[in-house]
Amino acid sequence: MFQIRGAVLLTLSVTQAVAAQSRSVPATVVDIGGVVTEATSRRPAQRMWVCAYTPPRESSSSQPCVPIDSAGSYKLDHVPLGTVRLAVVCERLLGFGKTVAFDTIVVAEPRFVRKDWSVQTLGCDTRPVRHLRGVFRGHYTGGFEESKFVPCPQDAWFLPGDSLDVYRYDARMAWAEIPGATSINWPEKVPHNSWGSALFYVRWRGAVTGPGRYGHMGVSAFEFRVDSILEIRAPRRNDCR
């Protein structure tokens, strides 16, 4: 009985010491959040990020940025106290981003900071992003810069408004993200295109996101994250009937 009581007292002493030590160490980070709305429509903005730049990292290309959600909300976690430069960046139809608003604030206390934004969206891609899940048939071409999945017309997600004549290739196509692609038993006897890339007919289950700019250099209007491979073989003439 004496040994158990001693162990309990020792555990309480250690716990109290740790708690006292944690209270003595001041917090050095803060969370920043809010809502981004379009100035004209006053609706939640689309396709934007909020970034926090803190010296001396301001010139670095690896700054903490978070995307806003469908309600226009964002939250930056664990931003260091001190001078913080905040920026709202939109996705553009061409190029890789455009700063539409910025502000510099001084955060002296470790309390949640709310920062809302009303921004102009001229030059930004403001189309709503769609998310579709299901089984999709089509043709897949591998390759570092050419990788693409083009769905059969019956399974296509493409809408006329998705094409803004800014894409280099067929706007219906998706950049395919395939988990464990190196371990897949890809058929060997398949045709190849003029670049030497293999062509496959596939039936995949997964999620499609877009329109936007996905893949290498933003070449694809959609992204297809594959959950499972149901069929993969050489293409045939009547694949999509």
How far is Cα 238 from Cα 241, in angstroms, rounded to an integer?
6
Q: What is the pTM of this model?
A: 0.63
Q: Per the domain annotation, does 18 fall within a domain? A: no
Pairing of strands 98-107, 82-90: antiparallel
Alpha helices by DSSP H, listed for the chain, are: 2-24
Q: Kindly state whether residues 87 and 145 are assigned to the same domain.
A: no
Q: What is the pLDDT of residue 159?
A: 79
* Banded pLDDT at 11 (limits 50, 70, 90): very low
Q: Per the domain annotation, does 238 fall within a domain? A: no
Q: How many residues does the chain have?
A: 241
Of 119, 145, 167, the residue at which a domain comes to its end is 119
Q: Kindly state whether residues 225 and 136 are assigned to the same domain.
A: yes
Closest listed residue to residue 105, CA positions, set 116, 119, 97, 120: 116
Residue with more model confidence, 235 or 218: 235
Q: Kindly state whether residues 65 and 101 are assigned to the same domain.
A: yes
> Which residues neighbour 167 within 8 Å (Cβ) at sequence distance 6 or greater?
219, 221
Q: Kindly state whether residues 92 and 148 are assigned to the same domain.
A: no
* Banded pLDDT at 147 (limits 50, 70, 90): confident
Chain mean pLDDT for the chain: 81
Q: Per the domain annotation, does 39 fall within a domain? A: yes
Q: What is the pLDDT of residue 195?
A: 82
Q: What is the pLDDT of residue 163?
A: 65
Q: Which residue has the tokens 């309990």?
A: 8
Q: Kindly state whether residues 206 and 143 are assigned to the same domain.
A: yes
DSSP 39-98: TTT-SBP-SEEEEEE-TTGGG-S---EEE--TTSEEEEEEEESEEEEEEEEE-BSSSS-E
Q: What is the pLDDT of residue 95?
A: 62
CATH number at residue 68: 2.60.40.1120
Q: Per the domain annotation, does 19 fall within a domain? A: no
Number of folded domains that form the chain: 2
Q: Kindly state whether residues 162 and 137 are assigned to the same domain.
A: yes
* Lowest mean per-residue pLDDT among 83-87, 142-146, 153-157, 237-241: 142-146
Of 91, 119, 147, the residue at which a domain comes to its end is 119
Q: Kindly state whether residues 111 and 175 are assigned to the same domain.
A: no
- Quick one: which H or E segment has residue 101? strand 98-107
> Does 150 score more than 80 pLDDT?
yes
Q: Per the domain annotation, does 54 fall within a domain? A: yes
Q: What is the pLDDT of residue 21?
A: 46
How far is Cα 177 from Cα 160, in angstroms, rounded to an integer?
24
Of 119, 147, 162, the residue at which a domain comes to its end is 119
Q: Kindly state whether residues 108 and 134 are assigned to the same domain.
A: no
Range of the domain at 70: 29-119
pLDDT in tens, 70-118: 899 999 999 999 999 999 999 886 666 889 999 999 999 999 999 999 9
> Does 6 score more than 50 pLDDT?
no
Q: What is the pLDDT of residue 44?
A: 93
> Which residues neighbour 101 within 8 Å (Cβ) at sequence distance 6 or greater?
87, 88, 117, 119
Q: Is 20 helix (H, G, I), strand (E, B) or coil?
A: helix
pLDDT in tens, 46-60: 889 999 988 755 444
Yes or no: say if 51 and 84 are a contact pair by the CB < 8 Å rule.
Answer: no
pLDDT in tens, 176-219: 988 877 688 899 999 998 888 899 999 999 999 988 878 877 77
Q: What is the pLDDT of residue 97?
A: 81
Q: Kindly state whether residues 92 and 134 are assigned to the same domain.
A: no
* Banded pLDDT at 165 (limits 50, 70, 90): low
